[in-house]
A and B are shown apart, each in its own frame.
Chain A
Amino acid sequence: DIQMTQSPSSLSASVGDRVTITCRPSQTISSYLNWYQQKPGKAPKLLIYAASNLPSGAPSRFSGSGSGTDFTLTISSLQPEDSATYFCQQSYSIPYTFGQGTKLEIK
C-alpha cells in the first residue's frame, strides 16, 4: 500500500493568514493526488483533484500543487469557515489511501 504522510498534524492560524499543508506519498503517484475538507459530523468535501484542479463550487482561495512524491495544499487567505480537518488521498493505485489528516484551527 502507498503510505500518505501529511504535515503538520495540526495547526492554528489567524484569519487572513496563508496556510500550507504538505502531503508526501511513500512512492511516486504522478498527479493522482486529491484533497478533501471534513467538518465535524459531515461527509468529506472535495477541494482539489488531480493535484491542482479546483472542482466547481470550491472557493478559489484553495489551490494545490506538486507531482510525484511532494504535494501542497494552500489556503491563500484563511477564513473562519476553513476550520476543519484536511485529508490528502492518492488515486494512483488500489487501495486508494488517505493521509492521517491535518486539523486546522482558527485563532
Chain B
Amino acid sequence: EVQLVQSGAEVKKPGDSLKISCKGSGYSFSNYWIAWVRQMPGKGLEWMGTVYPGDSDTRYSPSLQGQVSISADKSISTAYLQWSSLKASDTAMYYCARPVSSGSLNDAFDIWGQGTLVTVSS
C-alpha cells in the first residue's frame, strides 16, 4: 500500500525549533516530489513548498521562503519540514502530499499524510 505517515502532534513555545517528518512507503520514494501543505485552524489549504528526494531539489512559496526549511533523506524515505524559531501564527495542521506521477512537479496530489498538528503557545 502506498502511504505517507507523518510524525505526531507537537506543542511548542514561541522561539522553539521544530522538525516534523513524513515517511513514504509502498513506492519509489526518490522519484516523487513531496509537498507540504498548511491548514490553519478553520481555514483553507496553503501550499508551502516541495522537495524532490532524488536530488534534494527544493521549491518554496515566496511568502514562506526563509520562514521554513524543507528537506528529504532518501535513504530512509523521509521528508522534513523544519522551523528554527516558531511563532504563534505557525499553529496549524501540516500535511505532506505526493503527486500522481513520478517526477512530475506540476501535478495533483493523490497521496496525503494524516497530518501533523503543531500548536505554538506560550
Contact = CB atoms under 8 A, between A and B. Distances in A.
Given A43-B95, A43-B113, A49-B100, A91 B63 contact: no
Contacts of B46: 98
B58 to A, nearest CB: 11
A104 interface: no
Residue with the greatest number of chain A CB neighbours at <10 A, chosen from B59, B62, B106:
B106
B47 interface: yes
Contact of A91 (B37, B61, B107, B114): B107
Contacts of B88: none
Contacts of B95: 43-44
B108 A34 contact: yes
Given A49-B100, A91-B107, A91-B108, A43 B114 contact: yes
Given A43-B95, A87-B44, A95 B110 contact: no
B49 to A, nearest CB: 8
Interface in B72-122: 95, 97, 100, 106-110, 112-115
A43 B45 CA distance: 10
A24 to B, nearest CB: 16
Interface of B: 35, 37, 44-47, 59, 61-63, 95, 97, 100, 106-110, 112-115
Interface of A: 1, 32, 34, 36, 38, 43-46, 49-50, 55, 87, 89, 91-92, 94-101
Given A1-B63, A96-B35, A98-B47, 8 more contacts: A1-B62, A45-B112, A49-B108, A50-B108, A91-B106, A92-B106, A95-B63, A98-B44
